Amino acid sequence: MPANDVSAAPTGFAAFETAARAQGFDEVAERDWPAGTELALHSHPFDVAAVVVRGEFWLTTDGRTRHLRAGDRFELVHDQPHAERYGPQGAAYWVARRRPAAR
């Protein structure tokens, strides 16, 4: 995997951000969700590439639910419907967002 690949194991937030920006992501942030938070089916107008850094949560897309823990990665394309449910300790993840090019 190239060293600047956002899906490669990041060694810290700065490395994750550098890799994400090199791949054209225009926003990078850390999201921290409280225990037991549930987000009903929704979507975003941007692509997402993320890595879980603390806790656990369940991500449902296309009728399938994934149990994600620290170290796991996930991606979503813009406008992809999904739901989220966070575990008893909550969760945090680093996320890179990229708006699709105008058509």
Q: Name the token pair of 1.
A: 């995997």
User: 61 near 44, Cβ under 8 Å?
Assistant: no
pLDDT at 2 over 60: no
User: pLDDT tens digit string along 36-88?
Assistant: 999 999 999 999 999 999 999 999 999 999 999 999 999 999 999 999 999 99
Which residues are CB-neighbours of 47 under 8 A, at least 6 positions away? 25, 75, 76, 77, 78, 97, 98, 99, 100
Strands (E), the chain: 27-33, 38-42, 47-61, 64-69, 73-76, 82-98
> Can you tell me the mean pLDDT for 17-31?
95
The residue type at 73: R
- The CATH superfamily of 13-98 is Jelly Rolls (2.60.120.10)
Average pLDDT, the chain: 90
pLDDT at 102 over 80: no
User: pLDDT tens digit string along 29-50?
Assistant: 999 999 999 999 999 999 999 9
